[in-house]
Amino acid sequence: MRGIWRLTLLAGLLVAAAARAETPAQSCDVPAYLLTSESSLPKVAAAVKPAGKLNILVVGSRSSVIGVSDSAAAYPGRLQDMLREKLPGVEVNVTLELQPKKTAEDLAPTLRKLVEDRKADLVIWQTGTYDALRQVDADDFRNALDEGVGAMKAAGTDVILMNLQYSPRTETMISGSAYLDNMRVVAQQHDVPLFDRFAIMRQWNETGDFDLFSPSPGVELAKRVHDCLGRALSTFVIDAAHVNPAELRIQR
């Protein structure tokens, strides 16, 4: 009987191990409340129609492409792929304006011209990380955000603010709370959606979808994180624009 029990236990362990092996390394699910916004994207909604064209400009720092050598694998490229898949018949173009080592105050005066030159329907402004690293005064950061978002909206584009990336290794060394709070305040004041990258990545780390504490995350982990961010962002854009992709398929 003891031998049978041991064999049964061993079989159970092997089945459990096989099940774990078949389970994807990460699901990167995001709670619905992190992918919805009370603010809308009217320019995106107007552009998303059969035979329509949607131009998205991502203004970001090095974290827009960090960890990947192929720009198509970074989250802006994955966002483009996901939106093209979800919005049949719509020409979706996502371009990246990489601005490394620039604070919000550095970028704010340049944003209106950038929007006009690129003819963007939507700008995703990823900011805050370098400001936190530089310990920029929180009021100066908020004022720069206010100026930049106001300038872009005056140029006629929709705007999404994207906040800092989450890293448990740096969280104890860099205080990002003031920057996170100010981005939320400015988003509410200008009625623009805020993509809470910080909370989403923290959720993935806490649920074990990703080990973001690893000192050497590697290219594959970076690619998966970028892929999941692109997927989450595509859902966020579609939801904020109040677009029903099924209706696009019917109208084709």
pLDDT tens string 9-26: 333 333 333 333 333 445
For the chain, domains (ranges, CATH) are: 28-251 (3.40.50.1110)
Instruction: Note the pLDDT tens digit of each residue in 16-64.
Output: 333 333 334 457 889 999 999 999 999 999 999 888 999 999 998 877 7
Sheet holding 91-98, edge to edge: 91-98, 53-60, 122-126, 158-162, 194-195
Instruction: Supply 232's token pair.
Output: 């989450």
Say what angle helices 218-240 and 197-207 make with each other, to 10 degrees.
130
Residue that the structure tokens 């892929």 belong to: 227
Tens digit of each residue's pLDDT (9 = 90 or more) over 201-247: 999 888 887 766 665 556 788 888 899 999 999 999 999 999 988 87
Q: Please list, in sequence order, all residues whose beta carbon lies within 8 angstroms of the beta carbon of residue 103, skipping any fewer than 6 positions away.
A: 130, 131, 134, 136, 141, 144
The per-residue pLDDT for 251 is: 67
- Which among 94, 35, 91, 121 is positioned nearest to 248, based on CA atoms? 91
Distance CA 221, CA 70 (A): 14
181-199: average pLDDT = 97
Check whether 6 has a pLDDT greater than 50. no
Distance, CA of 119 to CA of 208 (rounded, Å): 40
H/E stretch holding 161 reads strand 158-162
Comparing CA positions, the residue from 60, 168, 64, 74 lying closest to residue 114 is 60
d(CA 212, CA 222): 10
Instruction: Provide the strand spans (E) within 38-117.
Output: 53-60, 91-98
The whole-angstrom separation of Cα 191 and Cα 204 is 27
User: What is the b/e burial string over 194-215, where b = at least 16 CB atoms within 10 angstroms of the residue's CB?
Assistant: bbbbbbbbbbbbeeebbebeee
pLDDT at 205: 85
Chain mean position to CA 184: 15
Query: pLDDT tens for residues 107-165?
Result: 999 999 999 999 999 999 999 989 998 999 999 999 999 999 999 999 999 999 999 98
**By C-alpha distance, which of 192, 175, 174, 172 is closest to 183?**
192
CA neighbor of 200 nearest in space, from 252, 236, 175 = 236
Give the predicted TM-score (pTM) of the model.
0.85
Three-state SS for 14?
helix
